[in-house]
Amino acid sequence: MSSQTATTPAELPPVDIKPLLSRLWPVGHPDTVSSDEIANAISYFFTNQVSDVQAGSLLMCLHFTGLDRQAEVLSKTAQAMLKSAAKIDVDELRKVVDSRRRPEGDYQGGLVDIVGTGGDSHNTFNISTTSSILASSLLLIAKHGNKASTSKSGSADLLNCMTPLPPKISLITPSTISLLYSRSNYGFLFAPVFHPGMKYVAPIRRQLPWRTIFNLVGPLANPTDISSPPLLEARMIGVARKDIGPVFASALVMAGAKKAMVVCGDEELDEISCAGETLCWRIVDGKTENFRLHPRDFGLPAHPLSEVSPGKEPQENAAILTRILNGEVPDDDPILHFVLINTAALFVVAGVTEAETSDMGYGDDGKVITERGPGGGRWKEGVRRARWAVKSGEAARQWARFVEVTNSFPEE
């Protein structure tokens, strides 16, 4: 990281973090390192001002002290990452979002994200990405994603393999994002484009055998979460360890999140599980409630993960996604059920299921399911809306529009 390259924004002086490292290890130094100091040190990673050796040492110290799993450290580091992100014209984007808002229920029409930390080793189908596409039938989606790091098929890998024409996700940039949302409900924010400073960190992460703070902080650093009032209205984050759930919830509250849910399947799965119970930490108006969900709460049967964990390559998962969008998957298909419950939960978190009437369009019978389940959510109403997104063809239409718009952007 210490060697400057032609892509470095400026010749910036090196930063020596050895004094900080000496206070982190061994444990027990009388001058405790604060979360602000850790986040500040990491901010220099993004400008290539810290040597590879010292950067790797800091990542190791955080990992082995457990500091990279503390809420305040995660929250402050995510904020540092956002400050170093490629700059979006917030005023312009807000004008576009305001012009396209479709408030319904408790949903105000803002941007919504669904993302997982990865690392659960289950290699399930790309649930959050597929759910984000279905949800774009009713919500403005700002899906933050990347290529695979721990699985066979990351969200970006999946989208790049879609046929007959994949979207050009690398052309969604700060300069085109407003144009995208002026014409599409769906947006995919490719992490390398919006967090260019991470290119200095990537080689070091690849040389370390442990997961680092960046495996956790990425889902907390959606590039649209940058203004007040927030453009990012709601989000659902899946974590792969139960002990991380309350940490993420606290980090989100510290960052000012008003509408979010952190989930972890009982199998240490970073989605809402189709196989059994899921631990949930739901944030409403800055307050967190903890409860459990089961597929039956969505009116659906449970399915073992072996039925939804094909471990397939992205080309094969893209074919499954295409069949789901085209309505070619049986209503009782386990992967479809898995997608429906996660899409339904995102609808609940966003607040659209709180509407007392329903006029989604063609195929909507207007019969709102008002039954409430754990945490007071209308989970079955969420499934009704998710099924409509598929059966009406609206999710497929939103996807087609997204592909068309991104392919109209000029190559940079």
Point out the residues of the chain with pLDDT beneath 70. 1-10, 119-123, 148-152, 310-311
Gap between the Cα atoms of 203 and 88, Å rounded: 26
* Owning domain of residue 23: 17-84
Name the domain boundary from 44, 67, 84: 84
Do 189 and 275 have their domain in common?
yes
The 8-class DSSP code of residue 329 comes to S
Question: What are the pLDDT digits (tens) for 360-369?
Answer: 999 999 999 9
Do 95 and 235 have their domain in common?
yes
Question: Residue 35 sits in a domain of what CATH number?
Answer: 1.20.970.10
Residue 43 domain flag:
yes
Q: What is the pLDDT of residue 291?
A: 98
Beta strands in 222-305 (DSSP E): 232-238, 259-265, 278-284, 287-293
Name the domain boundary from 69, 84, 99: 84
Do 38 and 103 have their domain in common?
no
Do 179 and 77 have their domain in common?
no
What is the value of pTM for the model shown?
0.94
Q: What is the pLDDT of residue 3?
A: 41
Do 285 and 365 have their domain in common?
yes
Question: What are the pLDDT digits (tens) for 327-360?
Answer: 999 999 999 999 999 999 999 999 999 999 999 9
Q: What is the pLDDT of residue 7?
A: 43
Cβ-Cβ contacts under 8 Å for 342 (sequence gap 6 or more): 114, 127, 128, 131, 236, 271, 272
Residue 7 domain flag:
no
Q: What is the pLDDT of residue 411?
A: 87
Our count of domains for the chain comes to 2
Q: What is the pLDDT of residue 151?
A: 57
Contact 61, 53 (CB under 8 A): no
